[in-house]
Amino acid sequence: MSTAFLTACASGSESEKSAKTSPSPAPSAFQTSAGPSEQKLTEQAQAALAAVHSGTMVEAGAERVRDGIHTRPTLSTGKTYRLNLICFGNGSASLTVAPESEKTPVPCDQSMIQRRITVDKPVRIDVNGTEGSSGVVAWQIDAI
């Protein structure tokens, strides 16, 4: 897995990249031999978020579980927002929305996590994968 990822991310011409890979077709940057590609998982997670979308989208994204989410969205004081979060893959992660410090478990089993956020101080959203977790975690913040 690491070799394919490093090869796909290496700089240089396509012919240089081809010379570094096996004769079989080069995998995508997110392809793993253990299961669905992270690109496919990202598409599935984003489709799941789109199905529950309500209100006006403020911010959205998707990251590898091992990289986590670390965002400081610009949200208006006194307004209420909905955070939708979903993880596709294996293992789990932990969600923290500051200034609260309560951690919410995020299983990577395609379960949707929804959190209402009322802004009275700057907000920080952190999602950290547990050791050995893999896949993609996607989020969307909607003004409601």
49: CATH: 2.60.120.380
In sequence order, what are the residues at sequence separation of 6 or more whose Cβ sits closer than 8 angstroms to the Cβ of residue 47?
none
Residues 30 and 94 in one domain: no
Q: How confident is the model at residue 100 (pLDDT cuts 50, 70, 90)?
A: confident
Task: Tell whether pTM > 0.75.
Answer: no
Distance CA 3, CA 16 (A): 15
Residues 66 and 101 in one domain: yes
The average pLDDT across 111-140 equals 95
Q: What is the domain count for the chain?
A: 2
Predicted pLDDT of residue 44: 93
